[in-house]
Amino acid sequence: MNTYEPVIGLEIHVELKTKSGMFCGCPADHFAKKPNTGTCPVCLGLPGALPVPNKKAVEWTIMLGLALGSTIAEVSKFDRKHYFYPDLPKGYQISQYDQPLCSGGKVSTSFGDVRIHRVHLEEDTGKLQHATVNGKKVTLVDFNRSGVPLVEIVTEADIRSSEQAKEFLKKLHQIVRYLGISDADMEKGSMRLEPNISIRKVGETGLPNYKVEVKNINSFRFAAAAIEYEVKRHAVILESGKVPAQETRGWDEAKNATVSQRSKEEAADYRYFPEPDIPPMRFTESFIDGIRKSMPQLPDAYKKEVKDVHGLNDNQASVLSEDFGKMKLFAEIMKLHEVTEAKITGATVANWLINKVADAGGLTGEAIASEIIQSKKVVEVSDDVLLEAINAVIAENPKAVADFKAGKEQSKMFLYGNVLKRLAGKGDKQKVLELLAAQL
Ligand code: MN
């Protein structure tokens, strides 16, 4: 049998958390709302309704492009992408074809760089719901999601393993969350993953002559599982002398397998043409610069900062910057007056967040800070109690005492350690050291 290597590209759709829709004033937050309550003539595609682009959505897409190192287009436009499906009220989706907002860029992974092909802006579709109404199997459609701003990120086919795909996706997820442009909550469908998978014989360098797209995956784990499943399936087909069909498949969670959905459309099938109701967009350098200046710190920069400013080690910095929630809590806690006052170090706060908070959700920075300070506070005891412990340790260790008197400074620290052990966390450590020196 030949040895093969995967050739994987990814398409990722991310819903932006703008207030309003991509081309209308309907709320962009559609999650768990009563069906068809957040709609208007524009997102329902009623005749005569005219789209007006959401400026924030355009700015945020550019911001994402800047974070990924993309080139931002000087001129960009929207296009109509036609296909017929009940969740698409106009019969076309307003998307971007040949002049996307952002082109190029890359995300580095431990397996090598993954180049970004393009980042473009479009509108989300409605949602179909399969249900039984009055004993009849029906398909219902909810248009609340129709017209929600959606960013599509397309990578080059640079990914060579499911692990690399997972690492890339986690990094992208992190960047989107840091920028604050989307919840990127995969369970709610605000980040959806589509790997394009083919395989080739090891040593070959060209792109394979087919690819299979797996649609709408909602977890990193499923993305990796779908890739592994496809890689094995393709190898069997290629070994039999055939070529896997160019098609779109879905991930079946229950079967732990991909299933065929439909043959893949070609760009020509979509009859793309420029959206006549929206003029092209032109961006000045100062507009792009303004966006660049308003960008929050990205994960890699944050990681460096917590090491340089708060003295965290590599491991603490990595774990913390991986989790957006914990990272925010860390920054919040380190700014608190009482934390500075109590001389709580960054390392202490980081360790607490890493080890004690499985899910940082719910706890405020202040609550965590007071818990840390409480745990650090010494139990006040009288000098008599300290002296009693010191004298007991001196009596029990005549050799160490003699060594100290003979000039062996280390012996004092040995005695000091034993006194602390005896006090079991009680008493002020500095005071213990002073009293011990005096007694000796
Ligand atoms: Mn798309």
Q: How many angstroms separate the CA atoms of 318 and 369, rounded?
A: 21
pLDDT digits (tens, 9 = 90+) for 31-45: 999 999 999 999 999
User: Measured in angstroms, how far is the CA atom of residue 152 from the centroid of ligand 1?
Assistant: 6
User: Measured in angstroms, how far is the CA atom of residue 93 from the centroid of ligand 1?
Assistant: 9
What one-character-per-residue DSSP string does 75-130 give? EE--EEEE---TT-TTSEEEE-SSS-SEE--EEEETTEEEEEEEEEEEE---EEEE
User: Measured in angstroms, how far is the CA atom of residue 11 from the centroid of ligand 1?
Assistant: 8
Q: Reply yes or no on whether the pLDDT at 302 is more than 70.
A: yes
pLDDT digits (tens, 9 = 90+) for 388-407: 999 999 999 999 999 999 98
User: Measured in angstroms, how far is the CA atom of residue 361 from the centroid of ligand 1?
Assistant: 32
| Residues sharing a CB contact under 8 Å with residue 240, sequence separation 6 or more, in sequence order | none
Phi, psi of 271 (to 5 degrees): 45, 55
pLDDT at site 99: 98
pLDDT at site 269: 86
Of residues 360, 31, 361, the one with CA closest to residue 191: 31
pLDDT digits (tens, 9 = 90+) for 334-369: 989 888 888 888 888 888 888 776 555 567 888 888
Burial 298-337 (b: 16+ CB within 10 A, else e): bbeebbeebbeebebeeebbebbbebbebbebbbebbebe
Any idea what DSSP says for residue 412?
A: H
Of residues 211, 205, 180, the one with CA closest to residue 11: 211
pLDDT digits (tens, 9 = 90+) for 258-293: 999 877 667 678 999 999 999 999 999 999 999 999
pLDDT at site 358: 55
What is the helix (H) or strand (E) element at residue 196, kind and residue range?
A: strand 191-201
Phi, psi of 64 (to 5 degrees): -65, -40
Q: Average pLDDT over the chain, rounded to whole?
A: 92
pLDDT at site 213: 95
SS3 26: coil
pTM: 0.79
User: Measured in angstroms, how far is the CA atom of residue 146 from the centroid of ligand 1?
Assistant: 13
User: Measured in angstroms, how far is the CA atom of residue 397 from the centroid of ligand 1?
Assistant: 76
User: Measured in angstroms, how far is the CA atom of residue 218 from the centroid of ligand 1?
Assistant: 15
Q: How many angstroms separate the CA atoms of 115 and 159, rounded?
A: 9
Q: What value, to the nearest 5°, has the Cα angle with vertex 364 and ends 362 and 365?
A: 145
User: Measured in angstroms, how far is the CA atom of residue 177 from the centroid of ligand 1?
Assistant: 20
User: Measured in angstroms, how far is the CA atom of residue 10 from the centroid of ligand 1?
Assistant: 12
User: Measured in angstroms, how far is the CA atom of residue 258 from the centroid of ligand 1?
Assistant: 20
Looking at the chain, the whole-number percentage of residues with pLDDT higher than 70 is: 97
Q: How many angstroms separate the CA atoms of 232 and 240, rounded?
A: 13
The single-letter code of the amino acid at 273 is: F
User: Measured in angstroms, how far is the CA atom of residue 189 from the centroid of ligand 1?
Assistant: 14
pLDDT at site 359: 55
User: Measured in angstroms, how far is the CA atom of residue 124 from the centroid of ligand 1?
Assistant: 8
Of the pLDDT bands very low, low, confident and very high (cuts 50, 70, 90), residue 7 is very high
Q: What value, to the nearest 5°, has the Cα angle with vertex 348 and ends 345 and 353?
A: 130
What one-character-per-residue DSSP string does 315-376 give? HHHHHHHH-HHHHHHHHHHHH-HHHHHTT--HHHHHHHHHHH-SS-TT--HHHHHHHHHHHH
Q: How many angstroms separate the CA atoms of 378 and 429, rounded?
A: 9
User: Measured in angstroms, how far is the CA atom of residue 122 from the centroid of ligand 1?
Assistant: 7
User: Measured in angstroms, how far is the CA atom of residue 216 from the centroid of ligand 1?
Assistant: 11
Of residues 80, 4, 7, the one with CA closest to residue 45: 80
User: Measured in angstroms, how far is the CA atom of residue 126 from the centroid of ligand 1?
Assistant: 13
What is the helix (H) or strand (E) element at residue 263, kind and residue range?
A: strand 257-263
Q: Reply yes or no on whether the pLDDT at 437 is more than 70.
A: yes
User: Measured in angstroms, how far is the CA atom of residue 404 from the centroid of ligand 1?
Assistant: 76
Q: How many angstroms separate the CA atoms of 426 and 431, rounded?
A: 11
Q: Reply yes or no on whether the pLDDT at 227 is more than 60.
A: yes
User: Measured in angstroms, how far is the CA atom of residue 358 from the centroid of ligand 1?
Assistant: 35
User: Measured in angstroms, how far is the CA atom of residue 59 from the centroid of ligand 1?
Assistant: 18
